[in-house]
């Protein structure tokens, strides 16, 4: 048997991010954040960390959505989730902000407008 480099079978192709999986013929798509979207989100995140309100985050890319989760502590459930649903882009908007309770705080087509709901100042009652 000839062991030259041309006769060796290539290993299964595994590419993270494009969704190719070993042993599968068709690519699995994965929704992810674009750089400009992450710039907008991380700008808000940096301000909240500096204010001491947020401490940790997680980024998930799934088949149907991309999720940016914000935590007060890393051992807790997320305070807020910023989600991107490309399939909803023409209907109610691709972006939405979801509270820890599961309530949708805001949704829309423009990410900067949607996350503005998280940037509002806390109101304090003073006697």
Q: How are beta strands 95-99 and 66-71 bridged, if at all?
A: unpaired
Q: pLDDT tens digits, residue range 43-98?
A: 999 999 998 889 999 999 989 999 999 998 877 789 999 999 988 888 888 999 99
| 98 or 4: which leads in pLDDT | 98
Residues 6+ apart with CB under 8 A from 63: 28, 29, 30, 31
* pTM over cut 0.85: no
70 φ, ψ (degrees, to nearest 5): -115, 135
Instruction: Kindly state the greatest CA–CA separation across the chain.
Output: 89
120 CB neighbour count, 10 Å cutoff: 7
């Amino acid at each position: 048997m000839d062991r030259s480099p041309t006769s060796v079978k290539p290993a299964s192709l595994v590419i993270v991010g494009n969704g190719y999986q070993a042993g599968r013929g068709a690519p699995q798509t994965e929704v992810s954040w674009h750089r400009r979207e992450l710039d907008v989100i991380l700008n808000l995140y940096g301000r909240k960390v500096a204010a001491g309100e947020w401490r940790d985050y997680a980024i998930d890319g799934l088949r149907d959505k991309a999720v940016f989760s914000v935590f007060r502590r890393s051992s807790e459930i997320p305070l807020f989730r910023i989600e991107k649903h490309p399939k909803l882009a023409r209907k109610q908007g691709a972006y939405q902000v979801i509270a820890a309770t599961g309530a949708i705080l805001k949704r829309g087509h423009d990410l900067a407008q949607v996350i503005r709901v998280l940037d509002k100042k806390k109101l304090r009652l003073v006697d």
